Amino acid sequence: MQRVEERLSALGNVIACNDYVALVHPDIDRETEEIIADVLQVEVFRQTVANNVLVGSYCALSNQGALVHPKTSIQAQDELSSLLQVPLVAGTVNRGSDVIGAGLVVNDWCAFIGLDTSATEVSVIEAAFKLQGQDTSAIAGMRDTLIDQFA
């Protein structure tokens, strides 16, 4: 953990990352960019998503995939997918909201979504992040380890 002196104070709206790469607002300070790279140990790219500078609001990343703003062009999706080295899907959350970060938190094992997210959106999210068909015994083993650790 490290304190960041940044005029763009809502960092969750201006940073999207997984274990390997981070997308950041194009105007973020160079010092902040270096801190992100050092602390998170990721490669940092200044990027927009569908011409929106709030990359943390308009996309969600994991090591398995990414969900981006529905108006992201096919060319931009291909470029982002190549940059991130994960499959990428354009979609929405909470019955059509394009503010992905407001309705989705995801990692490599599970996703938490907004209450209004439709069944179709859930299916897209599960497919994008490869969440369906997970090895439940592995997940149960991790859960049991956590319970034992904190008991």
For the whole model, what pTM was predicted?
0.84
Residue identified by tokens 């950041």 is 24
DSSP annotation of 5 reads -
Q: What is the DSSP string of 16-61?
A: EE-SSEEEE-TTS-HHHHHHHHHHHT-EEEE--BTTBS-HHHHEEE
Q: What is the DSSP secondary structure assignment for residue 8, as one 8-state letter?
A: S
Residue 135 confidence (pLDDT) above 70: no
Dump pLDDT digits (tens) for 85-98: 999 999 999 999 99
The domain limits of the chain are 11-150
The architecture CATH gives domain 11-150 = 5-stranded Propeller (3.75)
d(CA 46, CA 55): 9
- At 93-112, the pLDDT tens digits run 999 999 999 999 999 999 99
The β-bridge partners of 90 are 68
Write down the residue that tokens 């090591």 correspond to: 63
Closest C-alpha to 10, from 102, 98, 80: 102
Apex 20 CA angle, 77 and 28, nearest 5: 75
How high is the pLDDT of residue 6?
A: 86
Using alpha carbons, list the distances in angstroms from residue 151 to 68, 76, 139, 142, 148: 38, 47, 18, 14, 5
